[in-house]
Amino acid sequence: MARRHDPGRRQRITDAAVRVLMERGIAGLSHRAVAAEADVPLGSTTYHFSSLDDLLLAALREVNDAWLTRLERWEAALRPGRPLAGELARFVEESVRDERPRVELEYELYFAGLRRPAVRPLAAFCLDEMAGVLRRRVPDDATARALVALLDGLLLQLVLTGRECDREQIREAFARLVPQDGTGSPPGPAAG
């Protein structure tokens, strides 16, 4: 018998929504499917998430948080003196190789914003946070945003086309955006 007081239920429903999205895509997301996956009554999903957009947004927040956590960990683990372009190429390669289903889901949710305006602020937040993480390693915001655009474009192309990841070619693309001596070391203080 289900417990009446279940403080973790909302999170379990959100986690179930992510699993449903990974298995069935956005078209397969429904309160009924999520309730079955979470093993909760249908009324619980509609109580916590009154619309499918609410459920989708909760799942997108979860996916974005996981992606940003992964990017933060990658950035924190960069070894000083290693060329940033090469480290970014490694990140792309590992993302496509080791996290492909998750990356595919991230982009499916990301592009949901084309038809669902409620998704757009979360997508924008994620892009801003990514730029903030990369900004720690480059001299200005414009370079950080250009790196995010290239990172996004490369990941999308690789998962969409199924092409092999050519780390050297990707490294060369990133090297065009970071100084030749650009390393994974944080930039020095700004000149006054």
Binned average pLDDT, 10 residues per bin, the chain of 192 residues: 71 96 92 96 93 93 94 94 94 94 88 88 94 96 97 95 94 90 55 39
β partners of residue 83: 183
* Residue carrying the six token digits 């960069």: 78
Domains of the chain, with CATH numbers? 8-50 (1.10.10.60), 56-175 (1.10.357.10)
Of the candidates 156, 147, 152, which has an alpha carbon nearest to the alpha carbon of residue 174?
147
Which token pair is 172?
């060369």
pLDDT of the residue at 109: 85
pLDDT of the residue at 191: 40
**Cβ neighbours, 10 Å, residue 39:** 10
Which token pair is 144?
């950080």
pLDDT of the residue at 185: 59
Query: Which run of H or of E encompasses 4?
Result: none
What's the rounded Cα separation, in Å, for the pair 106 and 82? 28
pLDDT of the residue at 187: 58
pLDDT of the residue at 36: 96
Alpha carbons within 13 angstroms on the beta-carbon side of residue 75 total: 18
pLDDT of the residue at 148: 97
Query: Which SS3 state, helix, strand or coil, does residue 79 take?
Result: coil
User: Largest Cα–Cα distance in the chain?
Assistant: 66
